[in-house]
Chains A and B, each alone.
Chain A
Amino acid sequence: KAGVTQTPRYLIKTRGQQVTLSCSPISGHRSVSWYQQTPGQGLQFLFEYFSETQRNKGNFPGRFSGRQFSNSRSEMNVSTLELGDSALYLCASSLAEGHSYEQYFGPGTRLTVT
């Protein structure tokens, strides 16, 4: 069974631009969560989607948004990029809503904002 895939793997953007990241969960998994990893901050929870609905949201500004499609694939969008948005963005999938105890992570998208 294929793992969680994220595209693109690397991205360079300039301040003020917007970016869309994509995540394809493991086949059969219906929940997708997104995390931001920065040095010194660890992984910080962005949001979780289940059945195309945002189930949970972390403490991030409204510039960060996401959505989930009927095939469980998810996208994350960051608008008006700031230098501080440079980070590794990880998505994780699990079979059902919540179920954080059985999340499988993708390799991440490394975003650099210049």
Chain B
Amino acid sequence: DQQVKQNSPSLSVQEGRISILNCDYTNSMFDYFLWYKKYPAEGPTFLISISSIKDKNEDGRFTVFLNKSAKHLSLHIVPSQPGDSAVYFCAASTNFGNEKLTFGTGTRLTIIP
């Protein structure tokens, strides 16, 4: 039972444009959400997170939006840069991030120069 879903396995975006990565979840107990970025041969690195008490969190070029009623979150990257090419995982947790993470299957983002 995949409680966190990333339905797009891959996404290609032109450099300078906006990249939008989507994630859906089914467990209404999730109250903390994170995005990780992973390069080949490296472990995932934390990008940005959001608590269920907010609907938007911004950090530089990265913004995460949370729609609790739709059980949907998205990561916006603008402008997209070649170094953003990586696999992006969304993850969810309960107890405001103090419990284990449940990850999605990942979306491979390719930025086209």
Which residues on A are within 8 Å of B, measured CB to CB? 4, 33, 35, 40-45, 48, 56, 58, 90, 92, 98-108
Instruction: Say yes or no: A101 contacts B41, CB within 8 Å.
Output: no
- The distance in angstroms between the C-alpha atoms of A53 and B38, with both chains bound, is 29
Give the interface residue-count category, chain B: 20 to 34
List of B residues within 8 angstroms of A99 by Cβ: 97-98
Question: Looking at the complex, which of B12-20, B42-50, B56-64, B65-73 is the stretch in contact with chain A?
Answer: B42-50
List of B residues within 8 angstroms of A40 by Cβ: 105
**Closest residue of chain B to A59, judged by CB?**
B1
Task: Given A99-B98, A100-B97, decide whether A42 and B43 contact each other with a Cβ distance below 8 A.
Answer: no
Instruction: Say yes or no: A98 contacts B102, CB within 8 Å.
Output: no
List of A residues within 8 angstroms of B46 by Cβ: 102-104
Task: Given A42-B103, A42-B105, decide whether A90 and B43 contact each other with a Cβ distance below 8 A.
Answer: yes
Partner among B43, B45, B89, B93 whose Cβ is within 8 Å of the Cβ of A101: B93
Residue with the highest number of chain A CB atoms closer than 10 Å, among B6, B32, B103: B103
